Chains A and B, each alone.
Chain A
Amino acid sequence: MSAELEICSLTKRFPSFVLGPLDLSLGAGISVLLGPSGAGKSTLIQLIAGLLASDAGQISLGGRAIEKLPPERRQVGLVFQDGALFPHLSVRDNIAYGARTPYAPIVELLDIEQLLARRVQGLSGGERRLVALARALVTQPQVLLLDEPFSSLDTPAKRRLAGRLRRTLVALDIPIIYVTHDHEEARRMADRLIILRQGQVVQSGAFPEVFAHPATAFVAEFVGIENVLSGRVRFVEAGLLHVEVGQVLVQIAGEARPGQGVALVLHPEEVTLHLERGAPSSARNLLAGVIRELLPSGRSTWLVQLDCGFELAAQVTERSRQELNLTVGKRVYAAFKATAPLVVPRD
């Protein structure tokens, strides 16, 4: 049974920024802390590690209050952005630096035996991350914090590392906070997502759950949903909101008052494309538009960027693209049901 990390009313004030008060309770598994630069991600990490003193609140680890302890007594492991390896020590001496347990099994697990005798100056970015992780793991931390471990790595290096890293982390069975501002990385790594904005948690939960039900427009944009449309409710009729987006009125099922500003979160796979107005359909919204861009979004799917008076993205298969002969500049109709978009606060 691993120790839980409990954070209660944690607050840190800077002259131009306040983090918290934050409340979090984290069990074993990877919690990805996602947020833009300046959201307070690194501050939170440093507070937990004891590198910054909090102004108020408690941090406890397995019931043990740690917020007043110096970093060396917290048993909180931290992997810095670029590894922060000691340049005057070999890879082996870096890993052995704070070891409380023999390092051989962890070195083997991470498959870095061949690096042990090397100087840290010669390591690649990915190798540095792995050595830094090994160095933290051999101290037997009860919580592990990873501060943007993939920043400044190229995509192939990220891919190669991600699987190995995730398997290693999951096997640890301790709470892990993984900081990133990249939603793709978050999707790949997260058991749980915590979204931070301006020093506050705006939403947390499993990635699919947050992706399906983002709490705000900010969250929807940040987890990478293409269509986050800003609009205003004109009137409500027969239980449907008539929302003005750009110059266009769309009909949406949802709760809001007339005059209220809202954001519509619409997954692009909910939008269908048609060449003609055609027969009546159950889709309440049929919008004329022009294709502005076609982007491959997978092996056999395309993201079609439309201008319908506002920007709208639709996902189509390669086959549909060929059958409808979709090209840039072509005029098409985009359809979606009134129930497809999620109505969220605009923040």
Chain B
Amino acid sequence: MRVFFHERWPALALGALLLGYYLYPLAAMLAATSPAEILAALGDPQTLSALWVSLATATVTTLLALLLGVPLAWWLARAPLPGRRLLEALILLPLVLPPTVGGVALLQVFGASSSLGRAGASLGLPLTRSYLAIVLAQLFVASPLLIITAQAAFSQVDRRLEQASRTLGVGPWQTFFRVTLPLARAGILAGALLTWARALGEFGATLMMAYNPRTMPVQTWVDYLSRGLSSALPLAVIILAIALIAVLSLRALAGKEARQHER
């Protein structure tokens, strides 16, 4: 059925309000920051350190989430229903909890006075105020995104293709690596990108687990508190640029996945 423009414009008008609401503050932020200020910020060792900490921890978090999350996502996509629903709810929990609540829970387990925290410290692996602490916080908050996205990707893989592979003499492991994984790859990468972006932006749980070393969001917050809004702007713009690249890559991947599944 053809939908005429005049039938759609109320939807567009309401949506435009919301889109404007997204764009206006970001544009205002950009307008208030000069390229010179951004360059100056990038020359500041504190900013550079925060940028490095953020990029490094988000990447390690994503790799860990891939390693542990992809098998779980595959299992969920193939699991019988009763157990699956319960696990799916459990996986959503860190996503819907306020990150500070995640932080409280994590500190309870990994904090300096906890037994795990003490054990880590005695082995020279402090579980708070360290890179590892940041990764722990990010993994808790961001990895569900990978599981959910990868599960959806695995569910889209036609099971008959896996069956066909088996009847062609190829065992279950090889079938996974030669059929299932390649067909779900675009979706898994999209999940990894979402996880990476979410880990990069993680603030609440990270702040509680590791005030130092400082990630970009924590540094932005510290700059704002100590020196005012204008000094937080350059960092905010840098984070915005990274997020924009991540989002655009995600759209490109989604397009690729759609082409993969067309018959």
Contact = CB atoms under 8 A, between A and B. Distances in A.
B262 interface: yes
B183 A98 contact: no
A80 B164 contact: yes
B167 A77 contact: yes
Contacts of B165: 86, 97-98
A72 B263 CA distance: 26
A276 to B, nearest CB: 61
Nearest to B183: A88
B14 to A, nearest CB: 38
A51 interface: yes
A49 B260 contact: no
B243 interface: no
A51 B172 CA distance: 12
A75 B166 CA distance: 10
Contacts of B261: 87
Given A51-B163, A80-B160, A88-B182, A121 B171 contact: no
Interface in B163-181: 163-172, 178-179
Contacts of B170: 72, 97-98
A227 interface: no
A51 B167 contact: yes
Interface string A149-162: 00000000000000
A98 B165 CA distance: 8
A70 B164 contact: no
A73 B153 CA distance: 29
A67 to B, nearest CB: 15
A86 B161 CA distance: 6
A84 B183 CA distance: 13
Contacts of B183: 86-88
Nearest to B259: A121
Interface in B127-173: 158, 160-161, 163-172
Interface in A66-93: 70-78, 80, 84, 86-88
Contacts of B262: 121
Report which residue of A50, A51, A71, A121 has the largest number of chain B beta carbons within 10 angstroms of its beta carbon.
A71
Contact of B168 (A70, A87, A88, A97): A97
A75 B169 CA distance: 7
Given A51-B163, A71-B163, A121-B263, A84 B168 contact: no
B170 to A, nearest CB: 6
Nearest to B167: A78
A99 to B, nearest CB: 9
A97 B183 CA distance: 15
Nearest to A46: B163
Nearest to A81: B160
Nearest to B178: A97
Given A84-B160, A84-B161, A135 B168 contact: yes
A72 B169 contact: yes
A75 to B, nearest CB: 8
Nearest to A135: B168
Contact of B167 (A49, A88, A100, A121): A49
A72 B260 contact: no
B171 A70 contact: yes
Contacts, number: 67
A204 interface: no
A112 B230 CA distance: 68
Interface in A111-164: 121, 135-136, 139
A84 B158 contact: yes
A86 B179 CA distance: 7
B182 A70 contact: no
B234 to A, nearest CB: 44
B164 A78 contact: yes
Interface in B197-211: none
B167 A76 contact: yes
A84 B163 contact: yes
A132 to B, nearest CB: 8
A269 to B, nearest CB: 43
Contacts of A70: 166, 171-172
Contacts of B158: 84
Interface string A37-58: 0000000000001110000000
A98 B170 CA distance: 7
Contacts of A80: 160, 163-164
Contact of A71 (B161, B167, B260): B167
Contacts of A87: 161, 183, 260-261, 263
Contacts of A98: 165, 168-170
Contacts of B182: 88
A49 B165 CA distance: 12
B33 to A, nearest CB: 44
B260 A139 contact: no
Contacts of A72: 166-172
Interface string B246-263: 000000000000001111
Nearest to A98: B168
Contacts of A74: 167
Contact of A139 (B160, B163, B169, B263): B169
Given A49-B163, A71-B167, A84-B158, 6 more contacts: A74-B167, A78-B164, A80-B164, A86-B165, A98-B165, A139-B168
Per CB-CB distance, the 10 closest pairs between chain A and chain B, nearest first, are: A98-B168, A71-B166, A78-B167, A84-B164, A98-B169, A84-B160, A88-B182, A72-B171, A72-B169, A51-B163
8 contacts: A49-B167, A50-B166, A72-B169, A78-B163, A84-B164, A87-B261, A88-B182, A135-B168
